[in-house]
Amino acid sequence: MTSAHQSQQFRAEMEPGGAAPRLNLMGETGQLAAILAEQDGIVTTAQALACGLSRGGIRGRAVRGEWKRLAAGIYRSAEHDYGERAMVRAAALAHRGVLDRTTAAWWHGLVDTLPEPLTMSAAQAVPEQRWTGCAVDVVRRTFCAEDLTTLRGLDLTAKDLTVVGAVEFDPDPSRLLDRTLQLGQVTVDGLREAVKRYPRTRGMSTARALLAVLDEDTESAAERMFAQLLREEGIRGWIGQHPFEGWRLDFAWPEWKVAVEIDGWAFHCDPKAFRRDARKRNALIRAGWLPLSFTWHDLTEDRIGVAETVVSLLRTRALMPG
């Protein structure tokens, strides 16, 4: 069975959203019940034995279908939904691995959707047949102590290293970096130090290039990119820094009352600037203008989409009577 088919098979068994485990276990009490509740219904043979269960007791639960074997020495309680957290936990235990890159970002709560394949690192290789539950990208490496943390019982990379490792694989890498900086999940200094500690690690070139952007005035750079895009696409009639009720519009087509505001990274935007921009947008709408907003990310990741949006809106306004 291919990895893709394995992943689909296991996800088909999971409840939507990976619901929280139920606590009314089949006769499990005390420490064993607590472990199952804390670990998304997952338990290892070593943990069960430490709770006083015999190997015969483990086999009996498996035979009766109360526990389902996921890998050598790893079981899940049938009373627990097999959600994404349980799958990630079982895979990490099977590989004796440390979650990193995109899977660590998901476990930290930095991204909403669990990407495929799962990503982790391990000090030693594990036989492929040990885990057949889903696709896993395992890299053999170790980490500095300051780059490791533990969350909900699993070892994973700390947030700074997680983010710089994930940007290579995230479909919107600059947005991921921008969002985590804006929310205070990571710091610029922390990201840079993480890159320095692992200069040859896969993906660090992407992170290094994005971090270099932070030293620039991304809003001015984005305005230059937008002006260049207008020239390349032959879109004319615009005025830069057009005055409007005490403000300046980055780009304006006064004849058709179309305005385009260009933003840099949200990380650079303070609350005062955000409120000012909101007031400007509201004033434009009250005056009958149609305001558009594009960011540095839009102009670096979807130039064609930006141009099509502008052209479509200008064409619509040009055809409107009056």
Question: Which tens digits make up the pLDDT trace of 180-226?
Answer: 998 899 999 999 999 999 988 877 888 898 888 887 788 888 999 99
Distance CA 214, CA 211 (A): 5
Average pLDDT over residues 280-288: 95
The domain boundary residue, chosen from 167, 182, 213: 213
**Beta pairing, strands 290-295 & 258-263:** parallel
Cα dihedral 180/182/185/186 (nearest 10): 80
Q: Mean pLDDT score of the chain, rounded to an integer?
A: 87
Average pLDDT over residues 270-289: 88
Distance CA 164, CA 212 (A): 13
CA neighbours within 13 Å on the CB side: how many for 311? 13
Distance CA 262, CA 249 (A): 9
Residue-wise pLDDT for 61-79, tens only, equals 999 999 999 999 999 999 9
Overall number of domains in the chain? 3
Average pLDDT over residues 147-151: 97
Based on the fold, state whether residues 235 and 128 are members of the same structural domain. Answer: no
pLDDT at 57 over 50: yes
Q: Which of residues 266 and 121 earns the better pLDDT score?
A: 121
The domain boundary residue, chosen from 213, 247, 276: 213
Banded pLDDT at 272 (limits 50, 70, 90) = confident
Based on the fold, state whether residues 198 and 101 are members of the same structural domain. Answer: yes
pLDDT at 293 over 90: yes
Residue 74's domain comprises 22-80
Identify whether 298 is part of a domain. Answer: yes
The domain boundary residue, chosen from 163, 186, 213: 213
Cα dihedral 298/301/305/310 (nearest 10): 40
Identify whether 16 is part of a domain. Answer: no
Tell me which DSSP letter residue 129 carries. G
Dihedrals φ, ψ of 239, to 5°? Answer: -125, 130
Q: Which of residues 98 and 23 earns the better pLDDT score?
A: 98
Based on the fold, state whether residues 186 and 285 are members of the same structural domain. Answer: no
Based on the fold, state whether residues 143 and 173 are members of the same structural domain. Answer: yes
- Which pLDDT value is given to residue 270? 67
Based on the fold, state whether residues 209 and 104 are members of the same structural domain. Answer: yes
Identify whether 12 is part of a domain. Answer: no
Tell me which DSSP letter residue 110 carries. S
- Which pLDDT value is given to residue 213? 85
Q: Which of residues 27 and 157 earns the better pLDDT score?
A: 157
pTM value is: 0.77
Based on the fold, state whether residues 169 and 222 are members of the same structural domain. Answer: no
Based on the fold, state whether residues 205 and 272 are members of the same structural domain. Answer: no
Banded pLDDT at 6 (limits 50, 70, 90) = very low
Residue 309's domain is classified under what CATH number? Answer: 3.40.960.10
Based on the fold, state whether residues 186 and 290 are members of the same structural domain. Answer: no
pLDDT at 322 over 90: no
Distance CA 155, CA 149 (A): 6
